[in-house]
Structure 1
Amino acid sequence: MTVMSGAIIAPALPGISRHFPDQPQVVIQLILTLPALMITLFSPLMGYLADRFGRKKLLLMMLGIYGFAGVAGFFIDRVDLLLSSRALMGIAVAGILSISTTLVGDYFDSTERARFLGLQSSCMALGGVIFINLGGVLSDWSWRGPFLLYLTGVLLLPYAWAILQEPISSGSVSADTNDAPVKVDVGRTGLAYLIAMISMAMFYMFPAQLPFLLSQQGQISGMAIGIALSMAALTASIVAFCYGYYKPFLSVMTIYVLGFFLAATGFLIVGFTQSYTMAIVGAAISGLGLGAFMPNTTTWLMRITPQRVRGRVFGGFTSTFFFGQFISPVMVAPALIWLDSLRHVFTAMAVICGLLAIVLIVLGKTTLKADSKL
Structure 2
Amino acid sequence: MLFASTMTVMSGAIIAPALPGISRHFPDQPQVLIQLILTIPALMITLFSPLMGYLADRFGRKKLLLMMLFIYGFAGVAGFFIDRVDLLLSSRAFMGIAVAGILSISTTLVGDYFDGHERVRFLGLQSSCMALGGVVFINLGGILSDWSWRGPFLLYLTGVLLLPYALAVLQEPKNTGITSSGISDAPVTVDYWRTGLAYFIAMISMMMFYMFPAQLPFLLSQSGEISGLLIGIALSMAALTASIVAFGYGYYKPFLSVMTIYILGFLLAAAGFLVVGLTTSYAMAIVGAAISGLGLGAFMPNTTTWLMRITPQRVRGRVFGGFTSTFFFGQFVSPVVVAPALIWLDSLRNVYTAMAILCCLLAAALLILSNTYLRADSQL
TM-score range, shorter chain: over 0.9
What's the counterpart of residue 355 of structure 2? 349
- How far the C-alpha of 1:177 sits from its partner, in A, is 2.7
Cα RMSD, aligned residues only? 0.6
Matches within 5 A, 1:1-374: 1-170=7-176, 172-374=178-380
TM-score (norm: length of structure 1): 0.99
- Deviation (angstroms), 1:171: 5.4
Structure 1 CA distance for aligned equivalents of residues 367 and 95 of structure 2: 38
> Quick one: distance in 1 between partners of 2:176 and 2:64?
12
User: d(CA) in 2 for partners of 1:45 and 1:176?
Assistant: 23
Q: Unaligned regions of 5+ residues in structure 2, if any?
A: 1-6
Alignment-mate amino acid for residue 270 of structure 1: V
With 178-187 and 290-299 compared, the bigger mean Cα shift is at 178-187
In the aligned structure 1, how far is the partner of 2:46 from the partner of 2:178?
A: 27
Q: Deviations over 1:167-189 (max 9, x none)?
A: 01125332343233210000000
Residue identity over aligned pairs, in percent, reads 86
Letter in 2 for 1:207: P
1:327-357 Cα offsets, whole Å, 9 max, x none, are: 0000000000000100000000000001000
Q: Aligned equivalents of 1:154 and 1:176: distance in 2?
A: 38
CA distance in structure 2 between the aligned counterparts of 1:352 and 1:170, rounded to whole angstroms: 40
Kept in 2, the 8 Å contact 1:50–1:171? The answer is no
Matched letter for residue 215 of structure 2:
Q
Aligned 8 A contact 2:11 2:99 in 1: yes
Contact kept in structure 1, 2:178 and 2:184, CA below 8 Å: no
Helix, strand or coil at the partner of 1:143? coil
| Letter of the structure 2 residue corresponding to residue 12 of structure 1 | A
d(CA) in 2 for partners of 1:285, 1:177: 46
Question: How many pairs were matched up?
Answer: 374
SS of the aligned residue for 1:2 comes to: helix
Query: 8 Å contact 2:57–2:178 — kept in the other structure?
Result: no
Separation (CA, whole Å) in 2 of partners of 1:28 and 1:172: 43
Deviation of 1:163 (Å): 1.0
Deviations 1:128-152 (A, max 9, x none): 0000000000000000000000000
Q: For 1:299-343, what per-residue CA distance to the aligned partner results, in whole angstroms no more than 9, with x for missing partners?
A: 000000000000000000000000000000000000000001000
Please tell me the residue identity of whatever aligns with 1:353. Answer: C
The alignment's TM-score, normalised by the length of structure 2, stands at 0.98
Q: Distance in 2 between matches of 1:110 and 1:31?
A: 39
Instruction: Give the SS at the match of 1:367.
Output: coil
